[in-house]
Amino acid sequence: MTIAPPTGRTDSRPDGSFWRANLPGTAGVAYVVAWAVGLAAWPVNLALNATAGQTAASYRAHPAGAIVQYLLVEGLAGVLLGIVLACVLRAARDRLGGRVAGPALLGAIAVITSLAQCAIGLLATAAATSGHAADCGSLSDVVNRLDGVKMLALAATAAWLAISGPVLPRWLRGVSIPLALALIASGYAYLTLSNELASTAYISGPLLLLWVAGAGIALTVRRRR
């Protein structure tokens, strides 16, 4: 004799589609949080043309803050950025029939560059605390130049998504154009260590946070619908 299971019983395991739908929005919000906490951990704004001695002194004064900032702003934020970009480009691929190889490569460059910045930044902190000021200054310059590479790659990605069609909502496509322009300016500043243009990061930074969080949330809303 067989006993039928009680009617109305449901599987208590989490639905994978629910997590996939919420992944881009969660990653986008976490990206902003990682940046906010990381910047608060080490509130030091060194000039792009700071000397090796100035840079090393700053790292020695706040080693724990520097480590936390690199782990969050470049490490964790780099991973979260990759998640959001992967989700957005996958949606673009589904809509455009797979023509996303170029933007995918640019997004990968931005993510890999961010992770490289994290590793090099930790090495710069170790060099400063061990008394190797010259090495710390050189490594810090590499981190700043890589920031320029990352910004230019993100500028091209944002511009492509702005003109590729309705992958992103209309208001976010509108944000993509000033974001791309601001990233080009600040990317050039960091790539060339031009302190005169460094202030453009105060425009590109908030716009990038808005764009990443907005893209993730918009994609989650669309998936849940």
pLDDT digits (tens, 9 = 90+) for 147-158: 999 999 999 999
pLDDT of residue 13: 45
Q: How confident is the model at residue 42 (pLDDT cuts 50, 70, 90)?
A: confident
Give the pLDDT of residue 213. 96
CA distance 57 to 94: 50
Instruction: Look at residue 29 and tell me whether its pLDDT is greater than 90.
Output: yes
Read off the pLDDT of each residue in 120-124 and give the average, rounded to a whole number. Answer: 97
Token output for 122: 């930790």
pLDDT at position 10 over 50:
no
List, for residues 158-181, the tens digit of each pLDDT value: 999 888 777 788 899 999 999 999
What number of other Cβ atoms are within 10 A of residue 153's Cβ?
Answer: 23
- 76-118 per-position pLDDT tens digit: 999 999 999 999 998 888 877 768 888 899 999 999 999 999 9
- Compute the distance between CA of residue 155 and CA of residue 187 in angstroms, rounded to an integer: 9
The three-class DSSP label of residue 42 is coil
Residue 14, pLDDT score? 52
For all residues of the chain together, what is the average pLDDT? 89
pLDDT in the model for residue 15: 58
Provide, rounded to the nearest whole percent, the portion of the chain with pLDDT above 70: 92
CB of 102 closer than 8 Å to CB of 163: no
Please tell me the predicted confidence (pLDDT) of residue 33.
98
